Amino acid sequence: MPNESTAAEVQLFSDGACSGNPGPGGWGCILRHRATGTEKELSGGAANSTNNQMEMMAVISGLESLTRPTAVEVITDSKYVADGCTSWMPNWKKNGWKRKDGTRWVPVKNVELWQRLDGLLAKHRVRFTVVKGHSGHPENERCDELAVAAARQFA
């Protein structure tokens, strides 16, 4: 059994979708309180976005909906979001939210969203689990349905 420091109080399942890239996009997430099994679904979108932006918004929106600091396991099919939060962000911050592109420094793409995530990661104890998308994972499939439906509102 996981100890209290690693056990998630809340599981956050997330997915993003985009019709065209860029194009109309949507995101969906499910928050599940582990002790009670209570679930809450959230979704939204934008008329002009990218798949990566929608993947990020799913996690941001889920974390922003929490009312107090919480231990969260984020279950996502986005290696971009997981790697960005766990591996890339410390160097981006150290380098003024810039990254190396060959020999020059360029601004990090989606910097406003990364900065929102950074603030949320400071508030909550978050760990990431990456799952294969479109592989029958029930919550990931449901998040995809929510994201696609949200994107259709802007198409």
- What residues are annotated to the active site? 15-16, 55, 77, 134, 144
Helix (H, G, I), strand (E, B) or coil at 7: coil
Residue 54 in contact with residue 16, Cβ under 8 Å? yes
Q: In the numeric block, which tokens belong to residue 123?
A: 């508030």
Which helix or strand (DSSP H or E) is residue 91 part of? Answer: helix 89-94
Q: What residues contact residue 15 under an 8 Å CB cut-off, 6+ apart?
A: 27, 28, 29, 55, 58, 76, 77, 78, 133, 140, 143, 144, 146, 147
For residue 119, count other CB atoms closer than 10 A to its CB: 12
Provide the 10 A C-beta neighbour count for residue 89.
Answer: 18
> Which tokens belong to 131?
């799952």
